[in-house]
Structure 1
Amino acid sequence: MNNHQSGRILIVDDDPIVIRILASALSYYEVLMFAKSGAEALKMVDQHEFDVILLDASMPEQDGYEVCRQIQGKQLASEARVIFVTGRTNVDDETRALDAGAVDFIKKPVSIAVVQARVRTHMSLKLAADQLRRQSRVDGLTGVSNRLEFETGLRREWQHARRQQTPVSLVFFDIDFFKKLNDSQGHRMGDQYLKTVAQLLATAAKRGNDMVARYGGEEFVLLLPGAPIAWACSVAENLLAELVEMKLPHGESPYGFLTMSAGVATKIPEDDHYELLVEHADQALYQAKTARRNMVVKYKD
């Protein structure tokens, strides 16, 4: 196996000889990292994402069982598949490993063929689960995040902003007269316009924690953590102007081409109730839609 295969592996063992054996057996994976203690392993899983972790049960200071339990408590690391590789061979040890969150148990001295086969199986399962997880977070039509992923991201950014006492801005967008477009031009044209709008909005998510999502139907949201309301309004105004410049035909709109309305709200979190930010952005959007549309309205207390 000379070609690198997808997969990120962490080998945790206090014996350098075992590390060398396992590293040689698994050298064809794209990322291979090592730790010689439980503390070092926990530090590495905080800094990197791994698909499979090969973990020794017997290590000084902190045994593999405790390390495995702590890995399961970490949000990102808990998705990794932990395989114990150990000289402990009785049933109680194997059961203890599985109870701690491991998915498999390989006995020392290791068989290279067995290690490769077990890792290959669990790597395939992990990568397939990752793919399903990604698909569950994405809107199937437009390719941007779906509502569930947006709500997860909003909760995360809200808690971070609460700790830092920084603003969170949210922009609601709604395509103007979209139902009339669907009725006159058909859903195929409507779907194409939804994709175009999603692609346009995605250009505004320039930072790592910005997020564009399809909220439902012809509604989209743009989450801008750390952005003051003036910045969020400016982003929204620019996006509306860019859509107008595209001049996408819309015979049922008084403007003659596709436009959208936007509502903007900003809050510095004081408690856990992020839902209020959503309500405020939605109310501002409603004001834009009941006015002339093709405009940005910011929420005012």
Structure 2
Amino acid sequence: MNNPESGRILIVDDDPIIIRILASALNYYDVLMFAKTGTEALKMIEQHEFDVVLLDATLPDQDGFEVCRKLQGKHMASDPRVIFITGRTDVDDETRALNAGAVDFIKKPVRVEIVQARVRTHLSLKLATDRLRRQSQVDGLTGVANRLEFETALKREWQTARRLQSPVSLVFFDIDFFKKLNDSQGHRMGDQHLKTVAKLLATAAKRGNDLIARYGGEEFVLLLPGAPLTWASSVAENLLAELKDMKLPHGESPYGVVTMSAGVATKIPVDEHYELLVEHADQALYQAKNARRNMVAKYQD
């Protein structure tokens, strides 16, 4: 094959001859890397995303079964499929590999056509699973993350921030007078405004762990791990100004255009109760909507 195929493959083996054979057999995938020890492999998997890991059972520093178990315990977003390729042919070894989390077990000496077929099969299954998972994480109307994905991300970032003792900021956004907009312009135009607002808000999720999600109805939430209150508030102020400058008509609003209100809260986690941050941001949003709307309110402890 001359054209690269979608797929990120990691080969883990301390035998340079096996690495060359496997690399040659799989050189049509767009990412192909290798490691010679279990420690090196685990470090690479933390730094890069892989779809399939070809793993030898016998490595210089630790056996492949232990590497596989550690890999399963990491619960990474890429969730690579592990295929053992090993000279150990005992049935107990195959059982150990599958119990450790591997999806397949190929015995040496390597047959290139078998490796190619097994990798292609497991890669296809993995990519299909990834597509289904992405669909389950996305709001069908706006294309941003849905509430479930937001809550999953918040739990993850809260745990990280608790370990690092760094802040986590949330910004809740609510489109002002949205029911009146739907009543006057129709639900089709209301849906279009939701898409426009979501697209605007997505521009603020600039860093890898930032997340914009539709929380429900006309309400969105922006997760900003590591951001202090002043920064999160500034981001919210800029977004409100940008939306107003877009001059989307809204005859039932006192502003004459589509606007939104925002509530901001920030906490440095000291326990597992991330729900309090959501509650505080929601309270701040309530303050903004009960004031003059089209404004940012900050929760103050």
TM-score relative to the length of structure 2 = 0.95
Q: Structure 1, residues 151-203: CA drift from partner, whole Å, max 9, x if none?
A: 12222222222223222221111001111211222211011000111111112
User: Once superposed, what is the RMSD of the aligned Cα atoms?
Assistant: 1.6
1:75-114 to 2 correspondence within 5 Å?
Answer: 75-76=75-76, 79-114=79-114
Q: Which residue is 2:39 aligned to? A: 39
4+ runs deviating over 6 angstroms: none
Contact 1:13 1:56 (C-alpha < 8 Å) held by counterparts = yes
1:3-22 to 2 correspondence within 5 Å?
Answer: 3-22=3-22
Offset, 1:213: 1.0
Q: Structure 1, residues 190-227: CA drift from partner, whole Å, max 9, x if none?
A: 11000111111112222222221111110011122222
Q: Match for 2:43: what amino acid?
A: K
Mapped to 1, the partners of 2:227 and 2:67 lie a distance apart of: 39
Q: Which residue is 2:235 aligned to? A: 235
Contact 1:71 1:78 (C-alpha < 8 Å) held by counterparts = no
105-114 vs 212-221, greater mean Cα deviation: 105-114
1:201-280 to 2 correspondence within 5 Å?
Answer: 201-280=201-280
137-146 vs 193-202, greater mean Cα deviation: 137-146
Contact 1:215 1:221 (C-alpha < 8 Å) held by counterparts = yes
Offset, 1:104: 0.7
Q: Match for 2:194: what amino acid?
A: L
Q: Which residue is 1:128 aligned to? A: 128
Q: Note the residue ranges of structure 1 that are not aligned, 5 or more in a row.
A: none
Q: Match for 1:55: what amino acid?
A: L
- 2:140 paired with 1:140: yes
Q: Structure 1, residues 7-32: CA drift from partner, whole Å, max 9, x if none?
A: 11111122211111111111111111
- Compared CA separation, residues 60 and 226, structure 1 to 2 (3 A): closer
Q: Which residue is 2:30 aligned to? A: 30
- Compared CA separation, residues 98 and 299, structure 1 to 2 (3 A): same
76-85 vs 289-298, greater mean Cα deviation: 76-85
Question: Percent identity between the aligned chains?
Answer: 82
- 1:79 is paired with a residue whose SS is coil
Offset, 1:78: 7.4
Mapped to 1, the partners of 2:52 and 2:225 lie a distance apart of: 32
Offset, 1:259: 1.0
Offset, 1:285: 0.8
Q: Structure 1, residues 120-152: CA drift from partner, whole Å, max 9, x if none?
A: 001111111112222222211111111112112
- Compared CA separation, residues 78 and 63, structure 1 to 2 (3 A): farther
Offset, 1:5: 0.6
Mapped to 1, the partners of 2:59 and 2:235 lie a distance apart of: 53
Q: Which residue is 2:281 aligned to? A: 281
1:142-157 to 2 correspondence within 5 Å?
Answer: 142-157=142-157
Q: Match for 1:247: what amino acid?
A: K
- 2:237 is paired with a residue whose SS is helix
Q: Which residue is 2:59 aligned to? A: 59
Q: Structure 1, residues 259-293: CA drift from partner, whole Å, max 9, x if none?
A: 11111112222221111111111111111112221
Mapped to 1, the partners of 2:225 and 2:232 lie a distance apart of: 10
Q: Which residue is 1:191 aligned to? A: 191
Q: Structure 1, residues 84-103: CA drift from partner, whole Å, max 9, x if none?
A: 11222232222121111110
Aligned length: 301
270-279 vs 38-47, greater mean Cα deviation: 38-47
TM-score relative to the length of structure 1 = 0.95
- Compared CA separation, residues 205 and 211, structure 1 to 2 (3 A): same
Mapped to 2, the partners of 1:280 and 1:209 lie a distance apart of: 21
Q: Match for 1:26: what amino acid?
A: L
Q: Match for 1:287: what amino acid?
A: Q
Mapped to 1, the partners of 2:205 and 2:192 lie a distance apart of: 21
